[in-house]
Each structure stands twice: as structure tokens, then as C-alpha cells.
Amino acid sequence: MMSVHYETKTYDVLVIGAGGAGLRAAIEASAQGVSVALVTKSLLGKAHTVMAEGGMAAALSYVDADDCWQAHYKDTIRGGKYLSNFRMAELHAKEAPERVKELEKWGAVFDRTPDGRILQRPFGGHTYRRLAHVGDRTGLELIRTLQDKGIHCGIDVHMECTMTHLLKDGDQVAGAFGYWRESGRFILINAKSVILCTGGIGKAYKVTSNSWEYTADGQAMAMKIGAELIDMEFLQFHPTGMVCPPSVKGILVTEAVRGEGGKLANALGERFMKNYDPERMELSTRDIVAKAIYTEVKEGRGSPNGGVFLDISHRGADYIKRKLPSMYHQFLELGDVDITKGPMEVGPTMHYTMGGVRVHPETQEVLNVTGLYAAGEVSGGLHGGNRLGGNSLSDLIVFGQRAGQHAAEFAKQQTILPKINDEEVKGYAEELVAPFERDSKAETPYQIQADLQELMNNKVGIVREEQGLKEAIEELQVLKARAKVARVDGSRAYNPGWHLSHDIHNMILVGEVVARAALQRTESRGGHTRLDHLQPDNEHWRFVNSTIRLNESGELDVSTYEKPQMDEALRDLFEKSDELAITQSKQKI
């Protein structure tokens, strides 16, 4: 048996994940005067956040003076199909401007307005020009700003360190266990509170814009110690990913291309968005544009490689190269297409996980687990049935800050560190090294992941139906069984096959959560489309969120809860016709 020895470190607050949410949380917690560890399974500055392109939404009102938090709130609620947590949406809209300005204080260099302030661009579903941005590399600016701030805050950063299990002492979180990727040695971090900021689940899908890191670790770890996942049927398929050549299929084409005036056309040269959302056209919400593209392709009006055309060339080469430099290079270098001269081919790609760990709307504390907090894409609530572009980066800094503050306050109230059960930890270590002992003729986890991705894409993808979902749930059991006997070659030192042998369980578990939540919601709404229930079913589903937890015997319990009413004052912001307009608009598919 391989060594299951582990080292132990102790902190007041442990932050797992160093994307926008994790970095912001760590900075806040350390500002409260507690000791903080920030753990990331990549190098610092490489988290998924680095890829974000278009911008972060905040009603700064620098470009459109009429913008205000109330307008941002309304847009978010409408975009989320009334399923967002109302309190989270309110806090998000109110606090985003302050959080964005703070980035400038820490050295971020946003694009400028003619009078020298932060420039804001239009984006789908936002009534006003609202997205603070830096060309098409806003995520890089966000992460580098937070990184360069964070390294001077006394935070201990542990890079390439993967956490595999959350630990508990009674009802309270006690820390986390995992390994250093470089050596494969085990590490335990014993902490008074833990903040999960591990991001989404995109690597369970074949066509995705998501990075290597998106293996659903946080969702799975949290469930295993009693947390609930909500709204997991709602996945955002971004309307525009690259489609050609096949190796780049899924890589994102930022919505900023449409924000800057890009037009969508089908093979007949028709601007088809006029048939789906004549008012907002290309700047309709993502769920609607993605389904429109899906429909065009399905009905035979697609481009040669199974997408549609997106054209920005009318804006001229200089403008494109200045406002969309990464897109220009991405297409030139990876796709052999010059977007200043002609259209690009685009199609939907799995992009964002709306659902996630159920948290308290103000403190971000995870329901059912004392001392555990979650922020960023791993958490659920803010985006409801569909996320507006730009609302994620603002989510990260608003709720990252809140989580950091509350986790630190909680830690300060604890006089002693929670206890660790050494036997339990050794059990986890043995579970992790078990694949090395298996039959050397067994399969490696790579093929299992490929099969999972194919399955999720086909049966739990942009459109679903009962039959396919039921089949998917059965096939997932087969994958689960295969993953249990998959083999690992080589040693524990920097061994991606070994890493995947554990991550694959997370993806399969959370894949099943998505499938079961999708099966339960017998209607179509936002990022969830059922071919066998094409219309929204307001009578049963309008104000109902889904929730899933692991029960004692390791099975998934699926249920729903009714969302709390919107505050009267907030409800008055909406016109009488509003709910009707939303619920009656026929979602064409």
C-alpha cells in the first residue's frame, strides 16, 4: 500500500479557488485580520476567470446617465426568468459599482470614456450600456489586478494544490484535504471557516468554452458534506462558440462582437433574429439567441460547418483590432479567418453553470454546513434561469467580498480549531491511491471522460426530453461503475491521469444532478429547454426552484422549494405588464 502520510497546515480561513471570487474573498478575509490560505489547482493568475472577455456589469452610469441599480436589478430578474434569488440580485445590483471602482483603485486600467472615466459597453439583456471592460480581455484585467493586490496582503497562496474532500467536525466545516500536484503528496488544511470558489462544471461537456479546471469539484465536495445544489437544470449555452476547425469547437466568441454591432445571418443571408426577438435582435438574452441558432441549424439553414454566420467586418479593420483584438487573433491564428474581412462561423457552446451550491443571500454561508461559504460560479441563486453577460464578473467581486467578510467574522468567533478525524482522512487518502493498485489492463479515466462528454452533450445538452434524460441517468450509472475500476499508470508526481481518476467522479455525480433536475422541470424556461414541454408552465414552475441533495444512502434526492416573495418596494419597480409579458412571450424553438 502506498504511503497515506499527510502534512497539516492551520489557518483561520481557507479559500479554495483563486479565480475572481476566491481572490476577492481572500483579500477581504485578510483585511479583517485573520490568517488566510488561498489554494488553487492551477498556477496563480491562470484560473478560468482569466478567459472572460466582454466585461463586468455595474450601473456606474458613466455612459448612460439614466442607468441605476434599480435598472440593473430589473434586467437581472427578467433575464433570470424570475428565478433569481431576489435578495442576491438586489445586493449585486447595488454593490457592483463600488466593487468595480475598487478595482480601479487597485490598479486596473479599464477602457476610457471621452471624458476620462471607465467606459461601458452594451450587452445582451442590459437596458443601458453597462459593462466596464478592457477590449475583449476583461477577465485578465480582473484577475491580474486582484492577484497583484493579493500578493501584498499577507495571504498564503498554495498553487497547484488540489482539494479533494471537505472535512467536518459535527455540523461545522473543519477544513479540506487534498494533494500537491507536483509531488502527489497529501495535505490537510485545518481551518475555522472555508470558502468554496471552485467555479463550474463545463468539462463534463464535449463542446464547451470552459477551461481544464471545470470538473465540478466544489459542487461535488459540498454535496458530500450535506450541501444542496439548486437550479442545476439551468446551464448557459453561449450562442457563439467557434465551430471550425473541430479542434477549436466550443472556444468562445465573446458577446462583445454583437455588443459592438456584429450581425447574425443564416445560410440564406437572412438576419434570422428578427424572427425570434425583433426588438433586441442580436442583443437578445443568451438563451434566446442560442436556441435561435440551434433552430436555424436544425431546420437546414446553417453554415457549412453546422453553425451560422456572425459578421462584424462592417465596423472596419482598425475598430475591430482595437475593440476586439483577441477575437481578431483567435480567428486568424486558430481558424484561418480574417474577421475584419468576412464573417465567422459560430454555434452554441456550454458556457456557464447558473445553478450551484445553495447559500444564504447575504453572507454566502452554505445551507446546512456551518462555517462553509461559497461564492462565484460554484454558488447558485443570483442568475436564476439565465445569466446576463457581464453579471458573472460582477457576481465574483460582490459576493467574493461578502463571503470573505462573513467567513472571517465567523472564524474570529471561534476560539478553537475544529477537530480532525485522522481515521476519516486516512480513508480518503487510501481512496485516492487505490487506482494505482488496479488491474494494469483496465481502462484509463480519459476514455470515460470522453464518453461522459459525449453523453452530456447529446442527452443533457441545449435541448432535452424525458426519454433521453432517463437514458442519460442510466448511462451515467455505467460510467460511474467504469470510473470505480479505472487504472492509473506511473507515479504520483504531476500525473494528470491520476488527477482525472478522482475528478471524473465529481463530473459524473454532478452530471447526474443536472440530468435529474432537468427531468424534474417539465417545462421550458431560460437555459432549460424540454422538447416534450416546449412552453413555460407558469402554474407549476414560475416561482419554484429545484434543489438536489445526497441522502444518507448516497442517492440523489430531488425536490423543489418555493422562492420567497419579492419585497413590495422592489416589486413596484416592475410595470404591471411585466410578468405577463415575460410569461406570455412564446418561446419559439
Ligand X SMILES: Cc1cc2nc3c(=O)[nH]c(=O)nc-3n(C[C@H](O)[C@H](O)[C@H](O)COP(=O)(O)OP(=O)(O)OC[C@H]3O[C@@H](n4cnc5c(N)ncnc54)[C@H](O)[C@@H]3O)c2cc1C
Q: Which residues bind to ligand X, rule: CB under 6 A?
A: 16-22, 39-42, 47-49, 51-56, 138-139, 162-163, 197-199, 209-210, 213, 217, 252, 352, 376-378, 389-393, 396
CB 215 within 8 A of CB 203: yes
Report the residue number, 55 or 239, with the smaller CB distance to ligand X.
55
d(CA 392, CA 49): 10
Query: Which x/- pattern over 357-396 shows residues binding another protein (rule: CB under 8 A)?
Result: ----------------------------------------
Contact call for residue 490 and another protein (CB under 8 A): yes
Phi, psi for 307 (deg, rounded to 5)? -135, -155
Q: Which of residues 167-186 bind another protein (CB under 8 A)?
A: 182
Residue 192 half-sphere exposure, CB side, CA atoms within 13 Å?
Answer: 20
Contact pick of 193, 215, 330, 340 for another protein (by CB under 8 A): 330
Contact call for residue 336 and another protein (CB under 8 A): yes
Binding segment toward another protein, per CB under 8 A, in 61-69, 360-368, 486-494, 539-547:
486-494
Phi, psi for 171 (deg, rounded to 5)? -90, 0
Report the residue number, 197 or 473, with the smaller CB distance to ligand X.
197
Contacted entry of ligand X, another protein, none for residue 245, CB cut-off 5 to 8 Å set by kind: another protein
Binding segment toward another protein, per CB under 8 A, in 22-30, 171-179, 274-282, 491-499:
491-499
Q: Burial-class residue 316 by CB neighbours within 10 Å (0-12, 13-18, 19+).
A: exposed
Report the residue number, 247 or 413, with the smaller CB distance to another protein.
247
Select from 445, 440, 479 the least CA-distant residue to 459: 479
Report the residue number, 353 or 529, with the smaller CB distance to another protein.
353
Contact call for residue 204 and another protein (CB under 8 A): no
Contact pick of 8, 127, 313, 326 for another protein (by CB under 8 A): 326
First to last CA, the chain: 56
**Which residues are catalytic, by number?**
238, 258
Instruction: Tell me which residue has its CB nearest to ligand X.
Output: 19
Contact pick of 78, 121, 130, 137 for another protein (by CB under 8 A): 137
CB 285 within 8 A of CB 258: no
Q: For the CB of residue 539, give the shortest distance to ligand X in the complex, in Å.
A: 33
Contact call for residue 498 and another protein (CB under 8 A): yes
Residues 6+ apart with CB under 8 A from 552: none
Contact call for residue 140 and another protein (CB under 8 A): yes
Residues 6+ apart with CB under 8 A from 48: 19, 199, 200, 210, 211, 213, 214, 377
Query: Which x/- pattern over 82-111 shows residues binding another protein (rule: CB under 8 A)?
Result: -------------------x--xxxx-xxx
Q: Which helix (H) or strand (E) holds 101?
A: helix 86-105
d(CA 189, CA 175): 5
Residue by residue, DSSP assigns 448-498 as HHHHHHHHHHHHSSSSB-HHHHHHHHHHHHHHHHHHHT----S-STT-HHH
Amino acid (1-letter code) at residue 112: R
Query: Which x/- pattern over 44-83 shows residues binding another protein (rule: CB under 8 A)?
Result: xxxxx-xx--------------------------------
Q: How many residues does the chain have?
A: 589
Binding segment toward another protein, per CB under 8 A, in 133-141, 164-172, 458-466, 564-572:
133-141
Contact call for residue 440 and another protein (CB under 8 A): no
Contact call for residue 305 and another protein (CB under 8 A): no
CB 430 within 8 A of CB 1: yes
d(CA 476, CA 467): 14
CB 258 within 8 A of CB 124: yes
Contact pick of 152, 341, 441, 586 for another protein (by CB under 8 A): 152
CB 379 within 8 A of CB 364: yes
Report the residue number, 135 or 175, with the smaller CB distance to another protein.
135
Report the residue number, 336 or 572, with the smaller CB distance to another protein.
336
Select from 534, 526, 560 the least CA-distant residue to 546: 560
Binding segment toward another protein, per CB under 8 A, in 272-280, 456-464, 482-490, 534-542:
482-490
CB 321 within 8 A of CB 314: no
Report the residue number, 102 or 578, with the smaller CB distance to ligand X.
102
d(CA 474, CA 493): 35
Contacted entry of ligand X, another protein, none for residue 444, CB cut-off 5 to 8 Å set by kind: another protein
Residue linked to cell 459560430: 346
d(CA 424, CA 180): 19
Report the residue number, 253 or 566, with the smaller CB distance to ligand X.
253
Instruction: Compute the C-alpha angle 204/208/214, nearest 5°.
Output: 50
Contacted entry of another protein, ligand X, none for residue 39, CB cut-off 5 to 8 Å set by kind: ligand X
CB 346 within 8 A of CB 293: yes
Positions touching another protein (CB under 8 A) are 42-48, 50-51, 101, 104-107, 109-112, 114-117, 119, 134-135, 137, 139-141, 144, 148-149, 151-152, 159, 182, 211-213, 244-248, 251-252, 326, 329-330, 333-336, 444, 446-447, 450, 488-491, 493-498
